[in-house]
Amino acid sequence: MPAGMKPLEKFLKKQTTALTRAGGFVGGVADKTSSGTGSSRRRASLSRVVPFFRETSPETGLAREVFSPDTEDPPSWPTATGLVPAAPCGGSGSGDVRSPSLSSDEQSSEASLVMETGGGGGGTPIHADTPDNLTLLMLDSVAGKRNTHCTETLLDDFMLTHPIFLTAEKFQQFLLQQFSLQTGGQVGEPREGRGGEGALDGVERKKAVLSVTFKYLDTFRELLQEERERSNHFPQDLYLCAVKELSRYPELVEDVLKLQRWTEILHCPSEEEKESRKKQVRPLFRHFRRIDACLQPREAFRGSDEIFCRVYTPDHSYVTIRSRLSCRVAEILALVREKLQYSEDQPVLPGHLVLVAVTSAGDKSVFRPSDEAVFTTLGVNTHLFACEPSELDSLLPLPEEIHWSPGDSKLHDMSAEEVSNQLVAFDWELFSCVHEVEFICYVFHGEQSRWRPLNLELVLQRCSEVQHWVATEILQCHSLPKRVQLLRKFIKIAALCKQQQDLLSFLAVVLGLDNPAVNRLRLTWEGLPGKFRKQFQQFESIADPSRNHKSYRDLVSSLRPPLIPFTPLLLKDLTFLHESCKSFHGDLVNFEKMHKVAEMVRTVRRYRSGQLALDQDQAPSPALQTKAYVRQLQVIDNQNLLFDLSVKLEPRDT
């Protein structure tokens, strides 16, 4: 992964710089360095999600209350009754760290996880324990099923969070060992309080192992399918063991047949799937444009997917490479070198090459040869360059990213309803592609994660893209009356997105209108009718970060799923939970924290519990034009350039 900043962090830094230049950023903290691990950089940027919400009141210019774990005390969330923390927490000084993303009804479920452990028969919370003992406790619970609801909750908690404290290889090996045991004893020393009742007989243990395995395969199905080429033999090995036990335990026959079907699904793709994935080469958002590709429904990206991408040279010529999404930088450079070898424009083959990401503002990030999956980390108008180390200083952004001139917008010919419908449809496609585990991988593992959060990174990039699109369209409009019309249209688009429960585009549009380069256009805002001003003030109040974004959270709690949340705030909450409470105390896992993390991830599942109702009744031809426009937005993400355009439209002395 890259040594530079992630797309979200780049955007945060640019927003911080812009607010500082406008004189409205008070007490903000910007990341000035790209040192440290990618995981720590990502968490730092997300725990300071402040620049996503403009921090000054449009009327008074005074700073509004903003919560940041790095600079302020955490909000005082009420303590769950009867819930004893599994281990002492650090960082915040609070023993109970509750999810600020959950409504009051959802938070009450955090106190409901009560497990009956052997001997006592009473309800006790899950205490910190070793990974092996936690796995045994889960198997005991599944086998006994003394409390079905608690068993399902514990099993789901374990499946969602076990990558934090247990490698996949060790977990799979542990399940194989438990299935192969022939007596009632447990692996390792008996734990305190289990006694003789803690032991399971053979058939109970084997059924429990198979039940856990089915839950594991169902949760990680798409991710495991991608790994079939990486010698993931766990389902096959367990199936062979189960077949040998059928003569002794005929009760297992249905589970063995089910395991056989899972083995075929994971390791033997259908001919249609093979042919589909063989032909499918997909461009990413902005780095290789194909109209026919952008009109197709968005599917989840996997590391093994092949994509097209342009890699530029210092003279702004480029080569188009076809590469796996997860390939290493060294492989990308090898493909570039091979292309340059046969290029007529490259008479001399370059020596040692490095891969560099160059933003529209001229910032450069040099990738390490071992970095993987760098394509989804690129910013909105960031491009890849291959050059020799001595040419680094000569790298410049592409001319089309620097030179923009005012002109009429295509948006004038489109209705707000058409644009909002296409925004919602595309956001839903992107959000539906994100696997639940990507949220955990993004925050907890970073670049060391087994599964890259590719689709989540694209959602974050889309949020930044929509914000800059709003500012770009307004600042490119030279006519004052037309700028006022665009303001009205964007406010109406925001209202329609909110009505369709797309809070990602809703807040992105509001924050785009709150961009300092747009907000300073006094003459433009004065031309806005009072009805629209009042409506936009209501939208600003929802984006108000005071009291830990209470207005936004109240709005979310009033909506019924399905909906599209403002994903950066979800990640901020998850990051705060991670940094406020320790995951480990020596060899012990703080499973109470794991439960809270799983609760937050389950909110994503609830948001996607149904199919979002999309209003797409427009005529075919205009709908296709609007769809292509919305999915390939032309934006300026250089805040300095946006300010220059703003000053040209309305000089400072007006």
Tens-digit pLDDT profile for residues 274-297: 555 554 555 554 444 444 566 777
Distance CA 505, CA 47 (A): 21
Tokens of 127: 């205490």
How confident is the model over 523-563, as pLDDT tens digits? 999 999 999 999 999 999 999 999 999 999 999 999 999 99
**Facing residues of 308 across strands?**
322
Distance set, CA 454 to CA 212, 278, 441 (Å): 27, 20, 10
Distance CA 232, CA 224 (A): 8
Give the pairing type, strands 123-124 and 115-116: antiparallel
**Percent of the chain at pLDDT exceeding 90:** 49
Interval 416-443 mean pLDDT:
94
405 exposure class (CB count in 10 Å sphere: 0-12, 13-18, 19+)? exposed
Residue type, 352: H
Q: Residue 33: its pLDDT value, please?
A: 33
**DSSP letter string, 514-578:** T-HHHHT-HHHHHTS-HHHHHHHHHHHHHT--HHHHHHHHHHHHHS-SS-B--HHHHHHHHHHHH
Q: How confident is the model at residue 400 (pLDDT cuts 50, 70, 90)?
A: confident
Task: Please compute, for residue 532, the number of CA atoms within 13 A of its CA located in the half-sphere on the CB side.
Answer: 19
Q: Residue 346: its pLDDT value, please?
A: 57
The reply to whether omega before 562 is within 30° of 0 (cis) is yes
Q: How confident is the model at residue 302 (pLDDT cuts 50, 70, 90)?
A: confident
Q: Quote the distance between the C-alpha of residue 466 and its chain's center.
A: 16
Q: How confident is the model at residue 171 (pLDDT cuts 50, 70, 90)?
A: very high
Higher-confidence position of 608 and 451: 608
How confident is the model over 316-344, as pLDDT tens digits? 999 988 888 888 999 999 999 988 876 66
Rama region for 231: left / alpha / beta (φ>0; ψ in -120 to 50; rest): left
Is it the case that residue 240 has pLDDT exceeding 90? yes
CB atoms within 10 A of CB 444: 20
Of 275-284, 364-373, 498-507, 512-521, the range with the lowest mean pLDDT is 275-284
Q: How confident is the model at residue 93 (pLDDT cuts 50, 70, 90)?
A: very low
Higher-confidence position of 349 and 629: 629
Contacts 24+ apart (CB under 8 A), 313-318: 313/340, 313/346, 313/385, 313/386, 313/387, 314/385, 314/387, 314/391, 314/394, 314/395, 316/396, 316/398, 316/399, 317/345
Tokens of 18: 């812009």
Q: Residue 343: its pLDDT value, please?
A: 64
**Facing residues of 318 across strands?**
312
End-to-end CA distance of the chain: 47
Is it the case that residue 153 has pLDDT exceeding 50? yes
Q: Residue 243: its pLDDT value, please?
A: 94
Tokens of 317: 């010529």
